[in-house]
Amino acid sequence: MAFDRSVKIAPSILSADFANFGAEIRAIEDQGADWVHVDVMDGHFVPNLTFGPPAVAAFRPHVKTFMDVHLMIAPVDPYIEAYAKAGADMITAHLEAGPHIHRTIQAIKAQGVKAGVSLNPGTPAEAIEYLLDMVDMVLVMTVNPGFGGQKFIHSGIEKTRKIRQMIGDRPIHIQIDGGVTPETAPLVVEAGADVLVAGSAVFKGGSVDNPQVYGENIRAIRAAAEAARTG
């Protein structure tokens, strides 16, 4: 996939119907999702549990766009190969998940997949300065990771602006995750973000039997975000 900074919407399937992932993935893609965001949680780095590699492998054949796997697990290195083999197009690891984030990014790249580094709300932008020549994406968390449906933390806007400056001309995406809505999306896009994860704001009010609501929700986020680019 060629690099560009157009606004991309990445619904998090953490907010999907857990008994119906294949149909949910098809529904969000049919309704305009650009990427599919998979939140992996271990009950240790974050206080919630979600998907092991077999679950991610089961999602894979349903994803026609780009499968972005957000690992909220510690340790992370022992599981990178398994999530790459499960079919991730990009693997994102948290800087806070261990002492050797540089080694972790090397291990992700060694699997031949794209690599992202994620920052919790309390972690400064400068922490990733020496990773910028290795990564394909920086993920700025705008909630404390672990759950969908939390309130957007506004300090992520200024952090995004700093990271966008640090990136310069490098082909690196900035992804925002947590509390993204039509109200908050323009704030982070104006600051330099291009990939917007949204769980509750995409899935709310819809279902696989009523998927056009997903489309309306995705279009509302995209329109608000794109207005911040042009206006």
Asked if 143 interacts with ligand DX5 (CB under 6 A), we say: yes
Residues 161 to 200: which contact ligand DX5 by CB under 6 A? 177-180, 197-200
Asked if 39 interacts with ligand DX5 (CB under 6 A), we say: yes
**Cross-strand partners of 173:** 137
Alpha helix positions (H), the chain: 21-30, 53-59, 80-85, 101-110, 155-167, 185-191, 200-203, 212-230
Is residue 63 within 8 A of residue 71, CB to CB? The reply is no
List 34, 42, 89, 177, catalytic entry: 177
Active site residue 39: yes
Q: How many residues bind ligand DX5 (CB under 6 A)?
A: 21
Query: How many Å apart are CA 9 and CA 33, to the nearest integer?
Result: 6
Write each residue from 172 to 211 as x if it is in contact with Zn ion (CB under 5 A), else as -, in one continuous string.
-----x----------------------------------
Query: How many Å apart are CA 37 and CA 21, to the nearest integer?
Result: 12
Query: How many Å apart are CA 110 and CA 121, to the nearest integer?
Result: 28
Active site residue 177: yes
List 34, 39, 42, 89, catalytic entry: 39
Give the binding site for ligand DX5 (CB under 6 A): 12, 14-15, 37, 39, 70, 143, 145-146, 148-150, 177-180, 197-201
